Amino acid sequence: MNRRGFLRGAAGAGLALGAGLPALGARLRGFGAGPNLSRVEARYYVKLPDREIECRLCPRLCRLGDKERGYCGVRENIGGTYYTLVYGKVCALNVDPIEKKPFFHVLPGTTALSLATAGCNVNCKFCQNWEISQARPEQVEAFDLAPEEAAARAAASGCPSIAYTYTEPTVYFEYMVDTAVRAKKRGIRNIVVTGGHISPEPLAELLGVVDAVKVDLKGFTEEFYAAYVRGALKPVLETIRAVARSKVWLEIVVLVIPTLNDRMDLIRDMVRWIRDEAGEGVPVHFTRFQPMYLVKNLPPTPVSTLEAARRIALEEGLRYVYVGNVPGHESENTYCPGCGKVAIARAGYAIEALRLKKGKCESCGTPIPGIWA
């Protein structure tokens, strides 16, 4: 079944939304109620003859006739003009530890105002937030939160950053960029949690207004991306390259799934590519898979598999390699590459010790890259 058919069927079956999400408004919307949709003209599309358009926001390059929506389900061609239906329509809003994103080298111990709209431009079979990422905007209850209001709420909540997260921020690009601009004026940083499936031109604009990007590198073969992500690997690698070459901080997360992407030879190829293309100082998180969504037949990732992936990454020269989703594991800590001592001690999302002074190891003075203030 294609995505459009899946969503139609989900709507007809009354798909339950919001289970397990600490979200503001991620609940099934009564279909008798009118949908809360925006009609803000989208950026990055071209008009074609006969009221058709081609979206240029992501590598799918959806070509759509009148009244058709893109793969993401949140952008619609109306009479030859392309509109975003989720501008300022927030379905998830929380104050989270920044370590939950996870960002380990950005403002440790602080909180981020975390927000999302419905929609995604891929369909990961192991998505943890599928209730809102794979839903159409009519299927979730959304609350109006204008860009200036989002920035003001972050300030009032004492959050030094706003995180665009939970679903795929690319699909609410216009809202994200406008919010980031307003947050920046207030001295609030902007961090993006993305699968990296975005076209180069909008990515360049985004990198001009945000401070940090975490890219989920879901595998290292096109076959894996085609079968389990419904996307492509190449654009994700291009995104990682672009972020690494910008002034924006980059971290990478690899969700290690038993039997699907846990071959150690491919992990070695991946970390070599990261080292050569993004640099030895980029933090890489090998994260534990838990059964969910459409992949419930596999067990959680053995901790030993994550530890083996980390050893390979360190052998290949990466300096900051973490084990994720294993609270209390010693590889949650940041170790100084100079003296080997713990520079940041973590237990889950909590910071137990922060031994940095102006971005340098207190013990030996070795610089630790990141955003520390």
- Predicted local distance difference test score (pLDDT) of residue 34: 56
Count other C-beta atoms under 10 Å from residue 372's C-beta: 16
Q: Which regions of the chain carry the CATH code 3.20.20.70?
A: 89-332
Is the separation of the CB atoms in 222 and 233 below 8 Å? yes
Percentage, residues of the chain above pLDDT 90: 91
Over the stretch 101-130, which tens digit does the pLDDT of each residue have?
999 999 999 999 999 999 999 999 999 999
Over the stretch 231-245, which tens digit does the pLDDT of each residue have?
999 999 999 999 999
- Predicted local distance difference test score (pLDDT) of residue 35: 80
Residue 30 has pLDDT above 90, yes or no: no
Q: What gap in Å lies between CA 160 and CA 153, rounded to an integer?
A: 11
Cβ-count burial of 351 within 10 angstroms (0-12 exposed, 13-18 middle, 19+ buried)?
middle
Over the stretch 297-322, which tens digit does the pLDDT of each residue have?
999 999 999 999 999 999 999 999 99
The DSSP bridge partners found for residue 295 are 292
Q: Which of 32-36, 75-79, 120-124, 182-186 has the lowest mean pLDDT?
A: 32-36
> Helix H segments across the chain?
3-13, 130-133, 147-156, 173-185, 200-207, 222-224, 233-245, 264-277, 303-315
Over the stretch 176-232, which tens digit does the pLDDT of each residue have?
999 999 999 999 999 999 999 999 999 999 999 999 999 999 999 999 999 999 999
Q: Domain 89-332: give its CATH code.
A: 3.20.20.70
Note the Cα 223 to chain centre separation in Å: 21
pTM assigned to the model: 0.91
Q: What gap in Å lies between CA 121 and CA 20, rounded to an integer?
A: 22
100 pLDDT tier (thresholds 50, 70, 90):
very high
**DSSP letter at 132?**
H
Across the range 331-355, mean pLDDT stands at 97
Q: What angle do CA 294, 269, 306 make, to 5 degrees?
A: 55
Residue 227's contacts (CB-CB under 8 Å, 6 or more residues apart) are none
Residue 52 has pLDDT above 90, yes or no: yes
